[in-house]
Amino acid sequence: MKYTNEIRVYYADTDSYQVVWHGAYLRWMEAARVELCNMLGLDLKQLQETGDILPVLDLHVKYRLSAKLDDILKIETEIEECTPVKIVFKQVISNKDTGAVNIEAKITCVAVNTHTGKMYRKIPEYIFNACKIRENAAV
């Protein structure tokens, strides 16, 4: 399953050269991962209530081309891999008008129980099932 959204680059997202500040991409990618999880039926508030969260364990980002003020960007987010111990998201940010790729990223998340403060040895079954069943589904 792939989640795609678009955002406009605003002045607050840029530096003094009107180029997107590198941290803005991370904020946009996190929001897109949350939306994908919502599509999978994994509501963030419900996860928090049960004490199950999916923090980032590993983050690999390739900055290919800087986005600029007022660009319209397309963010594509999908689950690349879902195992009993981790979920790997693949994310690509590109310019909607030109198709030029700005960012390619792989983000690995694990499950942590906030009640115990410990990482699960295995992702809770309901999270694993939601990701695995839809891992290769088309939208």
Write out the two tokens for 13.
């997202």
| 43 annotated active-site | no
6 touches 71 (CB < 8 A): no
Q: Print the SS3 string covering 76-101.
A: EEEEEEECCCCEEEEEEEEECCCCCE
Q: Which entry of 15, 43, 58, 97 is annotated as an active-site residue?
A: 15
| Dist CA 77 CA 68 (whole Å) | 21
DSSP-based three-state secondary structure for 67: coil
Residues belonging to the active site: 15
